[in-house]
Amino acid sequence: MPKDWKIGKLGDIAEITSGKRPLAKQNNINDEFCIPLIGASCVMGYTNSVLYSNRILITGRVGTHGVVQRFNEPCWPSDNTLVILSRCYEYCYQILKTINYTAMNRGSTQPLITQTDLKNTEIVVPTNKILTDYEKDIGALMNLYESNQRENTRLAAIRDALLPKLMSGEIDVSNVDISALTSTDKLSFRCRSPPKKISYRFSRYFPLGSVFCGNLSHSSLLKISWLSVSILRMYSSKIAEVWCSSVPSSAAIKAP
């Protein structure tokens, strides 16, 4: 370990508190109940009040342990969670992903972790400069990752909305000119490095936004994108741009 680093506790760089029980909640989202109610491992419902609107980390206090959730939007962590706030957000996230929660468990019939146990977790604390640089570099990467996840969700929603309409015949694509859609004059490519990306520009197509490939494979993403823009191109005059970070810049790209 470098000489100017030190051994400390998680509580030295983070504020750890418990979530709270909301006054009202329901399972389904609507106009009034639209704030995610966060459980130990996932969104467990919706409420009509905001407990946190800043960037926080959430992990389980009672029940499920070891799942670390990231939130940077209005939400309400439930009373079976622990909420972590820190200026060293990304560093704390990595620490929380490596903790042995089983050894920390105090519950007998139901798993339980206390604030004190988590605060007293022994960690290595780098210098302030290292932590600042780490937050800047890793934060940028995680922002891309989260952007990818949001766009994947939007693409999946487009797919789920379109496919039933195609199967039922509600949307008629019999007159779509496939040759025009796959023509190279509708598609242009450019590579940037680093990181290696390939940009697909679809003129006059539905604005899908920017997508950094994550859970969806490259081929699946392209199929969903082409299906969506093929059907919706007649309704939009905007340009959609799809970024695929998982494709090498030297790859030969062909329209699906």
Higher pLDDT, 212 or 120: 120
3-state secondary structure the chain: CCCCCEEEEHHHHCEEEECCCCCCCECCCCCCCCEEEECCCCEEEEECCCCECCCEEEEECECCCCCEEEECCCEEECCCEEEEECCCHHHHHHHHHHCCHHHHCCCCCCCECCHHHHHCCEEEECCHHHHHHHHHHHHHHHHHHHHHHHHHHHHHHHHHHHHHHHHHCCCCCCCCCHHHHCCHHHEEEEEECCCCEEEEEECCCCCCCCCCCCCCCHHHHHHHHHHHHHHHHHHCCCCEEEEECCCCCCCCCCCC
For the cut 80, the answer to whether the pLDDT of residue 192 exceeds it is no
pLDDT confidence band for 183 (50 / 70 / 90) = low
**Percentage with pLDDT > 70 across the chain:** 69
Q: So what's the pLDDT on residue 180?
A: 63
Higher pLDDT, 172 or 80: 80
Domain residue extents for the chain = 6-126, 135-160+177-244
**pLDDT average, residue stretch 237-253:** 37
**pLDDT average, residue stretch 25-33:** 91
160-179 pLDDT, tens digit each = 888 888 888 887 777 777 66
pLDDT confidence band for 135 (50 / 70 / 90) = very high
pLDDT confidence band for 237 (50 / 70 / 90) = very low
Q: So what's the pLDDT on residue 195?
A: 40
The CATH homologous superfamily for domain 6-126 is DNA methylase specificity domains (3.90.220.20)
For the cut 70, the answer to whether the pLDDT of residue 92 exceeds it is yes
Residue labelled with tokens 């970024």: 243
**pLDDT average, residue stretch 80-90:** 93
Q: So what's the pLDDT on residue 166?
A: 82
204-218 pLDDT, tens digit each = 333 333 333 344 444
CA 80/CA 110 separation, integer angstroms: 11
Angle at 169 between CA 155 and CA 242, to 5 degrees: 20
Higher pLDDT, 113 or 253: 113
